[in-house]
Amino acid sequence: MKISVAPHTPKEIPMKFRIRATIALTLALSGLLGAVSASAATSSLVKVVQGKSYGFNAVTAIGSNGANVWVANSAGNSVTELDASTGAKLNVFKKAQFGFDGPARLSDDWTHVWVANDAGNSVTELNATTGALVRVIKGSTYKLRGTGQITSNGIDVWISNLRGTTLAEVSATTGNFIKDVKVSSLGIAQVNALTSDSTHVWAVDSTANAVAELNAEPGSLVKVLKGSDYRFDGPLAIWSDGSHVWVANERSSSLTEVDAKTGAFVRLIKGKKDGLNVVTSITSSAKDVWVTNLGATVGAGDSVSEFNVSSGSLVSVLSSAQYGFSAPNAITYIGGRIWVANNGTNSMTEIAAG
């Protein structure tokens, strides 16, 4: 990712990143400044959250659960908790008992927040309501060899090792180790991105232009999505809402949409005006899907593209200075609000989704 702790993509394909990893932060400008873009725009700035008191320091991941927004500060060895409705800082968790050591990824399943400690070979579990420490998962039992990607669907937690060659499955209820899977047995060589929904786990192999679809229970392989039908071309970011799966293709500046129930190709989203340029993260509501554009060069990217879920058509590209986007690398949606982490300015941008 970028500062101190990075996504650590093994056998990385040559990507055009101007910043190889990205970091999520938020800025809090006051006032509803209105929607950017053309007539169809539906999203507008609420505020930009920034300042030392927030503890933002190389933010590499964000998540939300309705009441709170969670921010992983990889260089600060801490996690910041924000009020999702006001943007106010609630807590900065950084005491030694939390075991944060390069927290580079997190996943919020509405009951627990799971934080992958890149440098610590461990996962910290927090109560998603109170922020209280539940446990720190580490040791040979869990077979964590450097923690890379992490995702939880509330039933199981899936954690890739730093090289992306194994996936550990842990019970989201008890924290108990279930199994460790070599990804080669799943038809891919490495895991570069990971997401899950109530029924499936989706693992991206960027080099192979492939996505492995697993049954969330018992973790068995369903199929490997690859080939010309899917148009994968340097897939980087992935997101599933249980009905749709979106995969960002870095080389072709496009989005591939897949049916989450069947794994069938739905459409390729690509256009000169859609603003897609090194997509680093994806989120969605029932109505829209949003992606952050890092940009391959300075001056490119620093924007968020919004598409209609049903049709895949472009709604708007949010890019004006008022949004404070600066190397945006993480995004989440909750309660009518979009939160975008800005690596370049250690800030968070809050946007009202129309």
pLDDT tens for each residue of 257-303: 999 999 999 999 999 899 999 999 999 999 999 999 998 876 678 99
Cα 31 from Cα 44, distance rounded (Å): 10
Structure tokens at 348: 């968070």
Quote the longest CA-to-CA distance of the chain. Answer: 56
Give tens-digit pLDDT for 100-155.
999 999 999 999 999 999 988 899 999 999 999 999 999 888 888 889 999 999 99
Question: In this structure, what token pair is assigned to residue 232?
Answer: 């994968």
Q: Apex CA 231: angle with CA 230 and CA 235, to 5°?
A: 100
Q: What DSSP string describes 175-217?
A: --EEEEEEGGGGT-S--SEEEE-SSEEEEEETTTTEEEEEETT
Nearest to 117 by CA among 107, 133, 106: 106
Task: Give 274-294 as a DSSP string.
Answer: S--SSEEEEEE-SSEEEEEE-
**Euclidean distance between the first and final Cα of the chain, in Å?**
31
pLDDT computed for residue 42 by the predictor: 57
Characterise 326 by phi-psi region: left (phi > 0), alpha (psi -120 to 50), beta (else): beta
For residue 18, what is the enclosing H or E element?
none
- Give me the pLDDT at residue 300, please: 77
Domain 43-287+322-329, CATH homologous superfamily name and number? TolB, C-terminal domain (2.120.10.30)
pLDDT of residue 297: 73
Question: So what's the pLDDT on residue 46?
Answer: 87
Quick check: 115 and 72 in contact, CB under 8 A? yes
Q: What is the pLDDT of residue 23?
A: 30
pLDDT value at position 190? 96
Q: Which residues of 249-273 are buried (b: 16+ CB within 10 A; e: fewer)?
A: bbbbbbbbbbebeebebbebbeeee
For the chain, the structural domain boundaries read: 43-287+322-329
Q: Of 213, 297, 285, 198, give the one whose Cα is nearest residue 247.
A: 213
What is residue 132's predicted lDDT score, i.e. its pLDDT?
A: 96
Closest CA to 336 of 325, 350, 347: 350
Q: What is the pLDDT of residue 141?
A: 84
What pLDDT does residue 162 have?
86
* Torsion, CA 229, CA 162, CA 102, CA 303, rounded to 10: -20
Low-confidence ranges of the chain (pLDDT < 50): 1-41
pTM, to two decimals: 0.87
